[in-house]
Structure 1
Amino acid sequence: MDIKEIQSLIKFVAKSGASEVKLETDDIKITIRTGSATSGHETTYVHQVPVAQATMAPVAAEAPAPTAADQSKAEEDSKFITIKSPIIGTFYRKPSPDKPSFVEVGSTIAKGDVLCVIEAMKLFNDIESEVSGKIVKILVDDASPVEFDQPLFLVDPS
């Protein structure tokens, strides 16, 4: 497609009243957007796709082999209980900014103790422990977003 054809396509789209037109062929992609009521101008994007790139198959990256240190760390972590987030939200270690954290690494916890707060939709939900033990590691930074079932704490139950 040459420049004259592209220009005539732009004029045709502008006269037609369409707000957006996309045209794709093997070697070119064109998107023409006519101006909104506030801008009053048109925008044209032309993207030339090299033929070699379009026909190449993606190559999967090979994962590195686990090292002895990784294996020993996995075995060490397997004896701990992982406390996971029951909801999506923002993780907080303190009940409020001026108060101390609920738990620290090394803290002994009992079943029912509050470990953290997760804010979801402006509601602060206390997350209580379902096990007794000692906090070995805190896996999330304070005021970080967390997903459902994301690990939060490692607890040594012994």
Structure 2
Amino acid sequence: MAPIPFEPGAIRMLAKLMAETGLTEIELAEKDRRIRVVRGAVQAPMQHVMIPATPSAAIAAEPPAPAVAGVADPDAVLSPMVGVAYLTPEPNAPSFISVGARVEAGQTLLLIEAMKTFNPITAPKAGTVTRILVESGDSVDQGQPLVVIGP
């Protein structure tokens, strides 16, 4: 089968649509032609290992409670979705961030894998990472605090 020629304009249009809508992946199919555009770095497959936690281990792994009970840290970056958090772009790579690191608005802090898609979680503002509340491989819920960025 001969390769299918693609129009650069179609790919640019899909990339523009992705940027406007915030999508990380888009695919168009028509008869025997298919175009798939993915934004962001290609991720190596990651192996997941589930280790059951004992009740005492689960309690020890919880992040410390905020200083004022019932009040979330206003500098916390919250998870926008349910998924699995990764602090590195691929296995054996350095972490995107570390405690004490200076970050700029829009900088990738971590990835959340949801439905086999890796979604970058970016810094909403510039500042210093004061706490990292998750570890690579942790399951996260929507609205869960992930990272605290202070002034």
1:91 matched to 2:79? The reply is no
Q: Which residue of 2 aligns with 1:13?
A: none
Q: Is the 8 A contact 1:80 1:155 kept in 2?
A: no
Q: Which has the higher contact order (CA 8 A, sep 6+)?
A: 2
Task: Give the drift of 1:140.
Answer: 1.0
Q: Which residue of 2 aligns with 1:134?
A: 128
- In 2, Cα distance between equivalents of 1:116 and 1:80: 19
Task: Give the drift of 1:73.
Answer: 3.0
- In 1, Cα distance between equivalents of 2:113 and 2:66: 35
- In 1, Cα distance between equivalents of 2:136 and 2:65: 28
Amino acid at match of 1:146: V
Q: Which residue of 2 aligns with 1:148?
A: 142
Shift of the 141–71 alpha-carbon distance from structure 1 to 2, 3 Å rule, reads closer
- In 2, Cα distance between equivalents of 1:148 and 1:78: 14
Q: Which residue of 2 aligns with 1:100?
A: 94
Task: Give the drift of 1:120.
Answer: 0.3
Given candidates 99, 109, 119, the residue that maps to 2:113 is: 119
Greater Rg by CA? 1
Q: Is the 8 A contact 2:103 2:129 kept in 1?
A: yes
Deviations 1:48-86, CA, capped at 9 Å, x for gaps: xxxxxxxxxxxxxxxxxxxxxx999339x9775010001
TM-score between both structures, scaled by the size of structure 1: 0.50
TM-align CA RMSD: 2.5
- In 2, Cα distance between equivalents of 1:78 and 1:141: 19
Shift of the 113–149 alpha-carbon distance from structure 1 to 2, 3 Å rule, reads same
Q: Which residue of 1 aligns with 2:35?
A: none
- In 2, Cα distance between equivalents of 1:74 and 1:83: 18
Shift of the 150–156 alpha-carbon distance from structure 1 to 2, 3 Å rule, reads same
Q: Could you tell me the percent identity over the aligned residues?
A: 34
- In 2, Cα distance between equivalents of 1:112 and 1:87: 18
